[in-house]
Structure 1
Amino acid sequence: MVRVVVVDDEPMVCVFLRTILGSADDIEVVDEAHDGAAGVEAVLRSRPDVVLMDLRMPGVDGLTAIERIAEFADPPAIVVLTTFDADQYVLRALRAGASGFLVKSTPPEDLIGLVRVAAEGHTVMSAAAARRLVAASTDRLSARDRARKLVESLTEREVEVLACLGEGLPNAQIAERLFLSEATIKGYVSRMLEKLGCGNRTQAGLIAYDAGLVEL
């Protein structure tokens, strides 16, 4: 069962998400909150697998909440909820630890599958939207320099794996492309995330883009 916490200051959005996700046999909305501080408390209280987090809320905003949740010992996957996919706050949220984002106009029939993908540890974000977000970054030049320095610490094989993460590929597809076992890829990913100081695959994927390893 995929356990979900919804954090949004609009009660109707929470009701909508509860209704849609509740129709799936393997997903349960276990808690909800209407500001960032309450969202952090809900995560501590309910220990979800996935958090759907609005960014713009009164009081403690979603970005601050994401930063706090990402510091937990075993944080859940955090998926940003946003109205506009080019919102600058979304890029900051991804760098802070979010594993992807959904626009609030996501069709209901797609939402359940995307929550399942997030629970499995994969990025929930379209390539086109990611391109717009990263291109809008105000510190693109410095981000590129930082990313290239980080990549210099990796082995040749780790760089290949990182490029695959930049494309959003799951471990099984990376293994098939590089002619390695899935277990071997898991080991590479784990060591690479530690070297890069990344909390999840999405952050590593952004480094791959910044370093020029992949074009989104």
Structure 2
Amino acid sequence: MNAAGGRRPITVLLADDEHLVRSGFRMLLEVEDDIEVVGEATTGSEAVERARALRPDVVLMDIRMPTMDGIEATRHIAATNGLDRVRILILTTYDTDEYVAEALAAGAGGFLLKDAGPTELLHGIRVLAAGEALLAPRITRRLIAGFIARRTADRRAEERLAVLTGREREVLALVGRGMSNAEIGAALCLSPATARTHVSRAMGKLGARDRAQLVVVAYSTGLVRP
């Protein structure tokens, strides 16, 4: 289906081992003018293969699947050359600290629970496709910050942040608070394009794949506190 205004639709790959779940997602997504389901996968290894072949904008990824779980599949996709722009939205019934941390560390750009409503899911897909990060409302920043901080306690904050300019630190802090490029620009009296440039430079210097990993860095270094 063509997106409104002639723009290319957001392409989505569905990865879940339950047929009814995939069918439900497909029915929900295919009525949207700006979203197109381009494929399905029933195992983690198949999700990796399909992602490499189809190069979708967003992968809806379940965690518990046969042959390879969704977190390991996410790790493989994130490490594949040429798939830098593929965003992975983890969808699961489990919201434990470890799942959240592992998913973000593996390269996921977002995390939603399967009981999220249709509006929340559609919003999540569009947010990730636009390059933003997304965390389910029920997954608190305190939860993520505490777990990540324990796992990365051996890395001194000042050493890690030393590569950033003062402005880039300011931008990183605002990314950590969940602000978009437009909101960061307004807060710092910058254009959205300039804010985006600072975000990109911070990602490059810190080795972050996307904004979700910048959020992790902001909390784990103490730049932003829960």
Question: Shorter-chain-normalised TM-score: which range?
Answer: over 0.9
Asked if the contact 1:3/1:48 (under 8 Å) is kept, the reply is yes
Residues 158-197 of structure 1, C-alpha deviation per residue, up to 9 Å, x if partnerless? 1100001101111111011011122221221111111101
- Could you tell me which amino acid in structure 2 is paired with residue 169 of structure 1? M
Q: 1:100 matched to which residue of 2?
A: 110
| Distance across 2 between alignment mates of 1:35 and 1:180 | 44
Structure 1: tracts of 5 or more residues without a match: none
| Distance across 2 between alignment mates of 1:136 and 1:187 | 29
Which of these residues, 74, 77, 92, is aligned with residue 69 of structure 1? 77
Are residues 1:146 and 2:155 paired? Answer: yes
Pair 212,118 (structure 1): closer, same or farther in 2 beyond 3 Å? same
Give the superposed CA RMSD.
1.8
User: Displacement, 1:140?
Assistant: 2.7
User: Displacement, 1:82?
Assistant: 0.9
- Could you tell me which amino acid in structure 1 is paired with residue 64 of structure 2? R
Secondary structure, counterpart of 1:146 in structure 2: coil
| Distance across 1 between alignment mates of 2:130 and 2:153 | 29
User: Displacement, 1:89?
Assistant: 2.2
- Could you tell me which amino acid in structure 2 is paired with residue 83 of structure 1? T
Give the number of equivalent residue pairs.
215
- Could you tell me which amino acid in structure 2 is paired with residue 84 of structure 1? Y
Which of these residues, 127, 134, 141, is aligned with residue 117 of structure 1? 127
| Distance across 2 between alignment mates of 1:8 and 1:87 | 21
Q: 2:5 matched to which residue of 1?
A: none
- Could you tell me which amino acid in structure 2 is paired with residue 146 of structure 1? R
Asked if the contact 2:113/2:136 (under 8 Å) is kept, the reply is no
| Distance across 2 between alignment mates of 1:147 and 1:120 | 32
Asked if the contact 1:147/1:210 (under 8 Å) is kept, the reply is no
Asked if the contact 2:52/2:83 (under 8 Å) is kept, the reply is no
Pair 126,111 (structure 1): closer, same or farther in 2 beyond 3 Å? closer
Name segments (4+ residues, structure 1) moved above 6 Å.
none
User: Displacement, 1:25?
Assistant: 1.1
| Distance across 1 between alignment mates of 2:208 and 2:140 | 18
Same amino acid, percent of matched pairs? 44
Which of these residues, 141, 146, 149, is aligned with residue 131 of structure 1? 141
Q: What TM-score results when the alignment is normalised by the length of structure 1? A: 0.92
User: Displacement, 1:128?
Assistant: 4.9
Q: 1:80 matched to which residue of 2?
A: 90
Structure 2: tracts of 5 or more residues without a match: 1-8
